[in-house]
Structure 1
């Protein structure tokens, strides 16, 4: 049975609006440094839908593309007005679009977190009750030593 539920959301200023259809494929917390920086928080809540189930309704998104230490490309899409990250694509999940868990309209739909990844980078005060917790991710194979990766820039 197909779920035809439509979830709408947007950025902080309201200029960008999007919708996602159905049930997300994956919902998780990520403690990696990229998600910490992208979200401005201790971790990011990522809600992934099949690429064709996410549609921008209005507004202009700017993209920022970078290569992770594994060699995968990640593209963040954010509002050109307020800078809120709304959507992203990660090379490891090419057929899915990530959406920011906190960007949905009230009443916000909250699916149970299925997993947390990069738990080794978790802030000491974060303790999530999730079915799966992974220190990294199965396909994580950094090309740079950790000390060099953490230097930034």
Structure 2
């Protein structure tokens, strides 16, 4: 009887733990609401044209596998990942304006937020808002 009682208690605890942990499981990131890794965001991008999104990836000048040449300006750059995912980025934010885009073996992941647009040629580009430059004052 003691063995059955201990077994039932252990089984009950296991069921309770499973229910509690499933309730605590993290929900998948949602493009348009959360920061989404680039590879996970790519299949959803066409549905988010004209919307503000946040994606994370590895910045590269133009060493990624994005389609075509720089779509909006010669300053456009690529956000990539280790599995050949690629998205053109236009502009710089406060967080990216000092980023080193030279080709390296570094794999520092950054997050960018901007409006997703589609060019006349069908290329998706994340357009970043202009950095907010802070005015400096001189004391006399």
Range of TM-score over shorter length: under 0.3
The structure carrying a bigger helix percent of its residues is: 2
The structure carrying a bigger strand percent of its residues is: 1
Which protein is bigger by CA-based radius of gyration? 2
Question: Structure 1-normalised TM-score?
Answer: 0.24
